[in-house]
Structure 1
Amino acid sequence: MELLGYTMEAIYLYTLIIGGSLTFLYILLSDILEGVFEGLSETYFNPTLVLSFVTLLSGTGYILEKITGLNSVFILITAIVSALLLVTLLNVFVLIPLSSAESSNTYSIEDLQGRVGKVIISIPADGFGEVLISGNSGNIAKSAISLDHQPIPEGTEILVIEIQDGVLHVTPYENASLNI
C-alpha cells in the first residue's frame, strides 16, 4: 500500500527516525521545555507520552511491514493498539510512580507536630529560639517559642505541641524510661 507516493514501510521508517530524534531531544532539553508545555502536560497533552506513542507506533508498524505480508490497514490497527497499550503501561507503571516519588521528599509543617527535637538556639521566656528536628530524610531547623513561656536552654530535648504562623510551640521533653 502507498500513501502520498511513499510505501507504508518508508512512512513508518521516517516517522520512527523523526519520533526517536524528537524523543531524544526532549529528554536532553526537558528542563527547558517543561515550562513551555507546563499548562498542557498537566491536562491532556504530555509530550513524553505523545512522543513515546509516535515512536512505538512507527516502530511496530515498520517491523510488521518488514517481516510480515499482512494487509497494511491491519498492520496500522495492530500498531495503534500495541502503542496505546505500551504507552498506557509506561504511564501507569513508570511515569506516575516517578512523579509521586519526587514529591514524597517534601514535608508539611503540620507533620512536625508531635515530633521530638533539640534546641540549637536557646528559647527565652517571651521570645524566639530555634530547634532542630531530625528525620529520615534530613534535618529541619525551625523557629520556636516556649509554650509555657519558660526559658528553654540550648541542648534541651523538646516536643512540638502546636504550630501557629510557621512557628513551633514547644515544651521540654522528658523521656522518662520505666524501670521495671
Structure 2
Amino acid sequence: MEALFWGCLIGGVLFAVVTVLLGDVLSGAMDGVLDFLSVDFFKPVVLAAGITVFGGTGIMLVKYTDLSSMPQVVISLLVAILLSIAVYFGYVRPMENSENSTGFSIKELAGRIGEVTIPLPAEGYGEVMVRVGAGNTLHIASSFDKTPLVAGVRVVVVEVADGILRVSELEERKGDDYEHS
C-alpha cells in the first residue's frame, strides 16, 4: 500500500510540474482529445492537488499510525477530496473570475456613456468614443432621437443594432455623475 501512496505523491508532483511547464504545449498537441473530461471541477490544478495529497496523506498515515490499509485509503481519499474542494473554491474559481481581457461584446455597450467624435446628423452616421476597460473605443453611431449631435457632446448608448450604436444626448443633472466605468 505504501508503494501506491508514494506513486500518487510522485505522480501528482510530476503531473503538476508538467502541467505548469508544458500545459499549453500539451493542450495544443492533443487538440482537445481530453475535452470530454472538462467537467468544471476537474481542472489540472485540482487533480494534481488531489492526487498529491492522497499520496502524501497515505504516506503519513502508514508511517505515523497503526491503522490497517483500508482506513488509510479511506482517510487519505477523504482528505484529498476535501483539499481538492478547498483548492477549487479557494484558488481556481477566484482566478477564473479575475481574468483580465481587453475583449468585449459590442452588445455590452448599451447604457454606457460616450462622446461624439464625428458629428451625427439627424439621419445618417457619425462616430462615438466609448470608454471600455482601460481604453477608449470608437464606434459608428446614429442618433436614436433623430436629432443632430455635434462633436464633443456626451451621449448615452441606448441600444446596439446591426453593429451600430444608437445614441441619445446625455442630460446631466447638477450634482449627478452618470459616468459608467
- Matched to 1:162, the amino acid is E
**In structure 2, what is the equivalent of residue 53 of structure 1?**
50
- Is residue 2:18 matched to residue 1:25? yes
Runs of 4+ aligned structure 1 residues displaced above 6 Å come to 103-106
After TM superposition, list the pairs within 5 Å mapping 1:102-113 onto structure 2.
102=99, 108-113=105-110
SS in structure 2 opposite 1:76? helix
* Alignment CA distance shift 1:72-1:176 (3 Å): closer
In 1, the alpha carbon distance for the partners of 2:48 and 2:159 equals 48
After TM superposition, list the pairs within 5 Å mapping 1:29-178 onto structure 2.
29-34=22-27, 35-36=31-32, 37-42=34-39, 45-102=42-99, 108-134=105-131, 137-177=134-174
After TM superposition, list the pairs within 5 Å mapping 1:1-12 onto structure 2.
8-12=1-5
In 1, the alpha carbon distance for the partners of 2:152 and 2:114 equals 10
In 1, the alpha carbon distance for the partners of 2:40 and 2:132 equals 35
- How far apart are residue 105 of structure 1 and its match? 7.7
Q: Write the deviation string for residues 105-162 of structure 1: whole angstroms up to 9, x where unpaired.
A: 8655444333321112332343322212225654343221112333322222112222
In percent, how many aligned pairs have the same letter? Answer: 33
**In structure 2, what is the equivalent of residue 4 of structure 1?**
none
Contact 1:9–1:66 at 8 Å: present in 2 too? no
Provide the TM-score with structure 1 as the length reference: 0.77
In 2, the alpha carbon distance for the partners of 1:148 and 1:44 equals 49
SS in structure 1 opposite 2:155? strand
Structure possessing the higher radius of gyration over alpha carbons: 1
- How far apart are residue 64 of structure 1 and its match? 1.6
* Cα-Cα RMSD: 2.8
Contact 1:118–1:158 at 8 Å: present in 2 too? yes
- Identify unmatched segments of 5+ residues in structure 2: 176-181
SS in structure 2 opposite 1:120? strand
Greater Cα shift, 141-150 or 94-103: 94-103
Q: Write the deviation string for residues 63-115 of structure 1: whole angstroms up to 9, x where unpaired.
A: 22122232222111110111011111222232223223338986554443333
**In structure 2, what is the equivalent of residue 14 of structure 1?**
7
In 1, the alpha carbon distance for the partners of 2:63 and 2:99 equals 41
In 2, the alpha carbon distance for the partners of 1:148 and 1:134 equals 22
- How many correspondences in the alignment? 171
- Identify unmatched segments of 5+ residues in structure 1: 1-7
* Alignment CA distance shift 1:104-1:92 (3 Å): farther
- Matched to 1:49, the amino acid is V
Contact 1:41–1:47 at 8 Å: present in 2 too? no
- Matched to 1:11, the amino acid is L
* Alignment CA distance shift 1:43-1:92 (3 Å): closer
